[in-house]
Amino acid sequence: MKTIIIFCAHSDDEAVGMGGTIYKLLNEYKIIKIVFSYGELSHPHLQKKVTAKKRVEETKKLSNKLGIETLFLGLSDSKLQKEVESKNIKEKIKDLIIKYKPCKIYMPTETDLHKDHRIVNKTVKKAIKEIKYNTELYSFEVWNVANENQPRLYVDITPYWKRKINMIKEFKSQHHFLYPLLIPVFLRSIYYGKKINVKYAEKFYKLK
């Protein structure tokens, strides 16, 4: 079975950006999710280790349910730029790509409003370029408000729409962030669906 790697800044990014597509690909590919940060700053009133533990538990529970392998790089939330360099994360990404030999790689877009998402995009692209790895490369939307000048791919997720929403809801500790996203996710999915004459779709930028 061929492998797909999904790179995320936080463990819920892929649910928002490509949850429907994940369900569509589950039976066809082995899916590896690589998460840069535990997202421990999402609850400033709690100790960082408490939030990190909760987020990891939620992620592992969902990953086990879906049959996805999830790896955490353990970087500090909102300090990705500094730690990507100090902990030589680019080299770790190279090693992971060489190890798993993915036929497709997904990551957040380069214009996402969240700085950590943009850092993931930049770091992964650098790693791929340096090892000259030839694969299909896509970016997905999380907090995007602007279109990028890249070829676009729309994926019909109509049969998986409810599962996508349920996937987002699995991250219970993040409801205060994710629930406000449900309306734009819903509207985007309808809008993208119209592009290919289906009810719901997700949009990807094809980078390679």
Report the domain count for the chain: 1
- The pLDDT value recorded for residue 54 is 80
Dist CA 162 CA 200 (whole Å): 10
- The pLDDT value recorded for residue 92 is 95
pTM score: 0.91
- What are the residues whose beta carbons fall under 8 Å from the beta carbon of 27, sequence distance 6 or more? none
Question: CB count, 10 Å around CB of 90?
Answer: 16
Nearest residue to 20 via CA among 161, 142, 183, 152: 161
Residue 205 structure tokens: 């930028």
Q: Are strands 3-8 and 104-108 parallel, antiparallel or unpaired?
A: parallel
Its domain, for residue 90, covers 3-206
DSSP 8-state symbol, 76: P
The CATH number of whichever domain residue 25 belongs to comes to: 3.40.50.10320
Dihedral, 92, 149, 118, 88 alpha carbons, nearest 10? 20
- The pLDDT value recorded for residue 41 is 46
Tell me which residue has tokens 């939620």. 58
Tell me which residue has tokens 């429907």. 20
Dist CA 179 CA 34 (whole Å): 23
- The pLDDT value recorded for residue 22 is 98
- The pLDDT value recorded for residue 56 is 84
- The pLDDT value recorded for residue 153 is 97
Per-residue pLDDT of the chain in tens (208 residues, 90 and over written 9): 999 999 999 988 999 999 999 999 999 999 999 999 875 444 444 445 666 778 788 888 989 999 999 999 988 777 778 888 888 999 999 999 999 999 999 999 999 998 999 999 999 999 999 999 999 999 999 988 788 999 999 999 999 999 999 998 888 776 666 667 788 899 999 999 999 999 999 999 999 9
